[in-house]
Structure 1
Amino acid sequence: MKTLSLAFNSAWHVLAVGVVLGAGVPALFAFGIRGLAASSGQMADDSTPRAWGKPVAAVCFLFVCAAITLGLTIIVSSGFGMKVSFEHIYPTLVEKK
């Protein structure tokens, strides 16, 4: 019975990461694109952009780029016999044991 509970616990972690990365990061990117869009649903020639659009888009794109960079770092570091450790506030590369 313990094996079954461990399997469900692992499946829950995989599902949570899948939802965050599979839906959260693209939604954040879409919110950044929306921040760059013209305001109030008018034609782009007739309206002025939102004042908060560019800063919000920049922050959204920064988080998306950070997520992509972290994912690539995890994949590439495993090929070099290293792993990403989150023991500190920022991720660091350490040797696999």
Structure 2
Amino acid sequence: MKNLELLFDAAWKVLAVGLLLGAGLPAIFATGIRAMAYGQGGSAEIDSTARPHPVGRVIGILCFALVAAAIITGITIIVASGFGKAVSFDHIIPTIVDKKH
């Protein structure tokens, strides 16, 4: 019975990470694209007479920064493990530390 509990505990974690990275990051990127079109106004919108909205540009830039941060963090984790290191999130900002054996 304990094995079944461990299985379901691991399965929901894999599902959550899969949804976040598999669908979440592309959705955030798409939101950024849509926000940039809203911020541009004019022919980027369906109504070609739409005025530019600076808030759309700010939201788009924030979305792109979030996606870029996730990509950079992922690459950092991969490279750090290749050098025998680990990435620690103990102080919110990711830092590269020695692996604990």
Superposition TM-score, scaled by structure 1 size:
0.88
User: Runs of 5+ in structure 2 lacking a partner?
Assistant: none
Distance (Å, rounded) in 1 between the aligned partners of 2:65 and 2:78: 20
1:89 counterpart SS class? coil
Q: What displacement does 1:5 show? A: 0.9
Aligned residue in 2 for 1:60: 63
Distance (Å, rounded) in 2 between the aligned partners of 1:47 and 1:89: 41
Distance (Å, rounded) in 2 between the aligned partners of 1:71 and 1:85: 12
Q: What displacement does 1:86 show? A: 1.2
Matched positions, count = 95
Q: 1:35·1:50 contact (CA, 8 Å) conserved in 2?
A: no
Distance (Å, rounded) in 2 between the aligned partners of 1:37 and 1:66: 22
Q: What displacement does 1:52 show? A: 1.0
1:83 counterpart SS class? strand
Aligned residue in 2 for 1:41: 46
Please give the residue correspondences for 1:47-86 in structure 2 after superposition, counting only pairs within 5 Å.
47-86=50-89
Aligned residue in 1 for 2:97: 94
CA deviation vs aligned residue, 1:40-87 (integer Å, no higher than 9, x gap): 6213xx332223111111111100000000011111111110111111
User: Runs of 5+ in structure 1 lacking a partner?
Assistant: none
Aligned residue in 1 for 2:32: 32
* Root-mean-square deviation over aligned CA pairs: 1.4
Which amino acid counterpart does residue 26 of structure 2 have in structure 1?
P
Distance (Å, rounded) in 2 between the aligned partners of 1:69 and 1:77: 12
Q: Identity over aligned residues, as a percent?
A: 54
